[in-house]
Structure 1
Amino acid sequence: TEHPQPPTRLKIVDKCSRSVDLSWTPPHDGNSPITRYIIEYKPSKLNWYQDGERILVHGNQNIAAIFDLRPATIYHLRIVAINEMGESVPSDTVTVITSQEVPDSPTSVKALVTSAESILLSWLPPDRPNGIITQYTVYYKVHGKQDS
C-alpha cells in the first residue's frame, strides 16, 4: 500500500459567475481505496498556502461544484487524492475565468450645475465591477415633468 497518484484530466465542465463544475479522472489508488479528494482553489494572483480554499469530496466522486466564487475572476484549481496512507501530491492545475455579472452602481456620484442648461456629472467606478465595464448610461428627468 502506498500514497495515491494525483487525479488527472481536470476539466471545467460548466461555469457561471459564482460557481464552476470540475471533473477529473481518478488516479491509481496506491492499492488502497481513495476515501476523499481535496479540491483546492484560489484567485490566480493569490498564494496557495495563505489564500487557497479547500473543499472535501467523497472518494467515489469524480465531479464537484465549487461555489461562492467572484464574477469575472481568474481561478486556479487542483485536486489531491487521499487514501489510508495519506495524500497524493497536487494534480496539475486547471484555470478558469468565471462569467461576468451586472456591475454594482457607480459610487460618489456628484452633480455640479454649470449653467441653466447643463450639469456636470462625476462618479467613481463601482466597488465590484463584476467584469469589464464597457459603458455608463446616464438617465435624467426634468423636475416637474411626467415620464414619457
Structure 2
Amino acid sequence: MTITDGRTPFVQTVEGLHPYRKYSVTVRAYTKCWGKYTWQQLKTKTAVPAAPPSKEFIDSTEDVIIIKLQSPKEEDVNGFIEKYTIKYAWKNKTCWNSEDGELIEQSISYNKSDLSYRLSALRPYWYYNITMSASTSEGAGPYGWCDGCYLRTKESTPGEIEHLTVQTSAESGNLDWSPPCRPNGIITKYTINIRNVDTDVSWTNNTSSNETHYTIRNLLPYSNYTVKIAANTKEGPGKFAKETNLRTKIAKPWTPSDPKAITKSATSLNVTWKTPNLYTGPTKYTVTIMGIKNVTIKIKPCETGFGE
C-alpha cells in the first residue's frame, strides 16, 4: 500500500494476505513519540479457488448421472463462484469385455445457481470417473475427485445376442450363441422363441441361468422352424436377435394304417393304405405279400406322393 505525507509517498508491501478478504490497515508516525493513527479498510482482489468443490449429492439411472456440488470451503473460495465445471471420463470400448477403446473425457460447465446437473446420453452399466472444479472471474481452480465419483450407471435391458449356431437331430435342436456385446447389466437368463413354420405354432422357453447353450426338445421330424433369442437382465428382456431357420432331420416313418387288398384279376391285387399320421420325411413303401404256401412275393418299393 502507498501512504502519502505531503509530497513524499511511503510504500510498504505486505505479503501473505488471503485473496478476496477485507483488511483494516492502520498507520501512525513516530518521532520522539507516537502520533495519531490513520486507517483504511480495503479488500484483496479475487483469485482462482484454492480447492475444488465438494459433492453434495450424486445418483444415476441407466443413462444419466445427476450431481449437485457445494462451493469450496470459505477459506478456499477466493472470490465469487461463477460456475462449476464437471469432467467425466469413460473407456470407449466396443464391447463390455473388449480390450480396445481409448479413454474419452468431456467437460460440462453449469452456473452455480443451478440446483444440480444431469450428465445424459450415457451408456448403461458403464463406469464413469468424475472430477470437478469451481471458477471465479479469475479462472478455474484445481480439479478434484470425491467419494462416489467413480461410479457405474444402473442396469438396462441388454443388447442382442451374437453368433447363434444350430445343430439338429430328428426331434431336437442344439443352440449355442455368444452373449450380447453390450449386456447393459448382469445377464440372468435367455428367452427363446420357437415357431413351427409348417403349422405356424409358436412357443417360448426360458433358460434357467445365463449359460449360452440350450437344447430344444420334442420337435417334429423333417419340419421347418425359426428360432430367435433375447437376453435378460433384472430390467427385463432385450431385443430379439434376427431369426435363424432350422430344419430337423428325417426320422423313421410311422406305421401306415388301414391296409386293404382288393382282387384285381386272377394274378393281381390292388393294395391301398393310409399314410402315417406323422410325416417324418420323404417316404418309400414296400408291399410284401405272403402266400398260403409261404411263398413270398416282394413288390419293388414305390414312391409315395409326398414331396420334400
Find the partner of 1:40 among 71, 83, 87. Answer: 87
TM-score, normalised with respect to structure 2: 0.42
User: Contact between 2:162 and 2:179, CA under 8 Å: does it hold in 1?
Assistant: yes
1:79 and 2:127 equivalent?
no
In structure 1, distance between residues paired with 2:112 and 2:54: 14
User: Contact between 1:38 and 1:81, CA under 8 Å: does it hold in 2?
Assistant: yes
The alignment of Structure 1 onto Structure 2 pairs a total of residues equal to: 142
Find the partner of 2:177 among 115, 123, 126. Answer: 123
The AA in structure 2 aligned to 1:109 is: L
Structure 1 equivalent of residue 71 of structure 2 = 26
User: Contact between 1:25 and 1:62, CA under 8 Å: does it hold in 2?
Assistant: no
In structure 1, distance between residues paired with 2:165 and 2:92: 34
Structure 2 equivalent of residue 92 of structure 1 = 145
Measured on the aligned residues, the alpha-carbon RMSD in Å equals 2.3
In structure 2, distance between residues paired with 1:63 and 1:89: 20
Structure 2 equivalent of residue 17 of structure 1 = 62
Structure 2 equivalent of residue 107 of structure 1 = 162
Cα deviations across residues 27-78 of structure 1 (Å, max 9, x unaligned)? 24312x22221111113799xxx52111111132351111111111122212
In structure 2, distance between residues paired with 1:71 and 1:53: 17
When you count strand as a share of all residues, which structure comes out higher? Answer: 2
Where 1:90 maps in the other structure, the secondary structure is coil
Cα deviations across residues 5-27 of structure 1 (Å, max 9, x unaligned)? 31013431x32100011011112
User: Contact between 1:44 and 1:76, CA under 8 Å: does it hold in 2?
Assistant: no
Aligned structure 1 segments of 4 or more residues deviating by more than 2 angstroms: 43-46, 59-62, 145-148
1:136 and 2:190 equivalent?
yes
Cα deviations across residues 106-142 of structure 1 (Å, max 9, x unaligned)? 11222222x1001121212112111111222222123
Gap change, CA 1:10 and 1:96, over 3 Å in 2: farther
In structure 2, distance between residues paired with 1:140 and 1:45: 36
The AA in structure 2 aligned to 1:72 is: Y
The higher radius of gyration belongs to 2
TM-score, normalised with respect to structure 1: 0.83
Where 1:69 maps in the other structure, the secondary structure is coil
User: Contact between 2:91 and 2:104, CA under 8 Å: does it hold in 1?
Assistant: no
In structure 1, distance between residues paired with 2:177 and 2:202: 25
In structure 2, distance between residues paired with 1:41 and 1:10: 17
Structure 2 equivalent of residue 53 of structure 1 = 106
1:70 and 2:87 equivalent?
no
Pick 1 or 2: higher relative contact order, CA cutoff 8 A, min separation 6. 1
In structure 2, distance between residues paired with 1:41 and 1:79: 9
Where 1:101 maps in the other structure, the secondary structure is coil
Where 1:137 maps in the other structure, the secondary structure is strand
The AA in structure 1 aligned to 2:141 is: S
Structure 1 equivalent of residue 37 of structure 2 = none
The AA in structure 2 aligned to 1:78 is: T
